[in-house]
Copies of this chain bind each other. A is one copy, B any other.
């Protein structure tokens, strides 16, 4: 067992808005850590993307989520003053959240049958960093 295991996962987005699954990267890091039981904390070091756990079976779930969030929180909104024109992405980031915490046992993430871990890109394309810390 490596104490204080931490790793950085790099994620390349290719569109302004995109949900990119990182479950296998997290599973690989967990294997590498050789820790068998605990919690896995993922934290993104950015302010215009988020992390979430959601369905990884039907890809329509992702596109429905992104479509709805784009309509609910538009990029160009009367009253936005932030000059980078990505206030919508900052808002989505705070609503979705910048971290997820997932328990694991026997060296495996305790995700439900339909769950995957996603980086939610709201202001891409960019390279993003996700810190993975095992406790």
Contacts and interface: CB of A to CB of B under 8 A. Distances in A.
A47 B64 CA distance: 14
A13 interface: no
A82 interface: yes
Nearest to A133: B103
Identical chains in the assembly: 3
**Size bracket of the A interface:** 35 or more
Majority DSSP secondary structure for residues of A touching B: mixed
Interface in A114-135: 114-115, 120, 129, 131, 133, 135
Interface of A: 4, 6, 37-39, 41, 43-47, 52-55, 58, 60-61, 63-65, 67-69, 71-73, 77, 79-84, 87, 90-91, 93-103, 105, 110-115, 120, 129, 131, 133, 135
